[in-house]
């Protein structure tokens, strides 16, 4: 597959939306996460719309709510907007309480399209890999970054693995399972 100018437009748009955002706790430019998720989507067989949604998967949640949603719909179409919506667990500030928000997100994935599940799983794989790398550097202090703490964060990723496995075979679900297993083995040492 050859990516079009539409993908390039999405890359620029995502870079600008998240230009002042960094990853939680480590200061890495947020665009690195978006590129990582996009890379995983493409490596696991995603098409251009799915790759664009991967670049924009946090835009509604973190960069403007409904106004950003409408701009994504206008620029990249209904399918991309629907994937982004399916990957968002909240579009309000402040965000609702952590545990009910995560439970609702997990429940939504059980009914989600294959498009949403691919981008969401890629997002979670990248997040868990980052957690693992950060844990190697920071140890137990890492968990103070997260509202769910260590137990809540591990619970969330375990539930996501179950959900992705339950909703149909996807090789990326196996990738997420392996990443979560690697993290759990590391933190249990």
Q: Which residues are catalytic?
A: 61-62
**Residue 4, preceding peptide bond in cis (omega within 30° of 0):** no
* SS3 assignment, position 96: coil
Q: Among residues 188, 182, 189, which one has the least CA distance to residue 132?
A: 182
Q: Are 122 and 116 in contact (CB under 8 A)?
A: no
**Helix 48-56 with 65-76: angle, nearest 10 deg:** 160
User: Tokens standing for 112?
Assistant: 């989600």
Residue 16 phi, psi dihedral angles, 5° rounding: -70, -40
Burial of residue 120 (CB within 10 Å: 0-12, 13-18, 19+) is buried
């Amino acid at each position: 597959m050859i990516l079009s100018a539409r993908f390039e437009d999405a890359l620029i748009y995502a870079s600008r939306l998240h230009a002042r955002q960094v990853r939680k706790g480590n200061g890495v430019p947020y665009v690195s996460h978006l590129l990582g998720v996009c890379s995983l989507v493409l490596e696991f067989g995603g098409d251009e719309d799915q790759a664009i949604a991967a670049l924009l998967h946090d835009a509604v949640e973190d960069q403007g709510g409904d106004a950003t949603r409408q701009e994504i719909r206008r620029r990249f179409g209904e399918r991309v907007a629907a994937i982004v919506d399916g990957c968002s667990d909240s579009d309000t500030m402040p965000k609702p309480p952590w545990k009910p928000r995560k439970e609702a997100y997990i429940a939504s994935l059980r009914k989600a399209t294959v498009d949403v599940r691919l981008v969401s799983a890629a997002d979670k794989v990248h997040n868990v890999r980052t957690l693992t790398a950060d844990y190697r550097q920071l140890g137990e202090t890492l968990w103070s970054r997260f509202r769910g703490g260590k137990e809540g964060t591990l619970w969330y990723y375990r539930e996501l693995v179950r959900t992705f496995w339950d909703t149909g075979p996807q090789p990326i679900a196996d990738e997420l399972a392996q990443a979560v297993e690697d993290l759990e083995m590391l933190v249990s040492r």
